[in-house]
Amino acid sequence: MTKSDTATYLSSPLGTVELRGSEAGLSAVSFLNEPVAATAPAAVPDCLREAHRQVRAYFGRELHTFDLRYDVARGTDFQRQVWAALLGVGYGRTASYLDLARQLGNPGAVRAVGAANRQNPLGLVWPCHRIIGANGTLTGYAGGLWRKKWLLAFEQPVAQAELF
């Protein structure tokens, strides 16, 4: 966290969500394993107000795609390519690590895609929970597999409704 970074916290069905950022944009989204008091809406720093609103709207089933300004200085070129590819996996959909590796033109990079996902600083917002094993299994999620399972189930009714 830099001097200009600030944090806010909100309650979710999956525990406390921590949002970090500055005037430059959102820099981190994390699920905390220990409870932290949620920030009162009036006390949310201006630079995080929109991210706070959008995460609440996501959990309220009012938002399917995040539209925020980001400030993520870390990550290799490859990690940044993987994180950008995550944005192409829509709400209620999944893709495999192999799918992403192929999309990036390197089908042999499945493990590297997984490693990049583990380093995703904006989990939930950059939806790495939507990435699954090639055989459909749930593998890896920095927030815990139980959260990944919950998020995929949470998004599923919308995807099913779109089929009809």
Query: Please, which residues bridge with residue 31 across strands?
Result: 17
The single residue listed with the structure tokens 């809406």 is 41
- State the Cα–Cα distance between residues 38 and 28, nearest whole angstrom: 17
Is 47 among the residues known to form the active site?
A: no
| Rounded Cα–Cα distance for residues 29 and 126 (Å) | 9
DSSP string covering 42-100: GGS-GGGHHHHHHHHHHHTTS-SS----B------HHHHHHHHHHTTS-TT--EEHHHH
- In the block, which residue shows the tokens 């950022």? 21
Q: Which of 72, 89, 125, 128 is catalytic?
A: 128
Map residue 117 onto helix, strand or coil: helix
Mind telling me the catalytic residues? Answer: 128
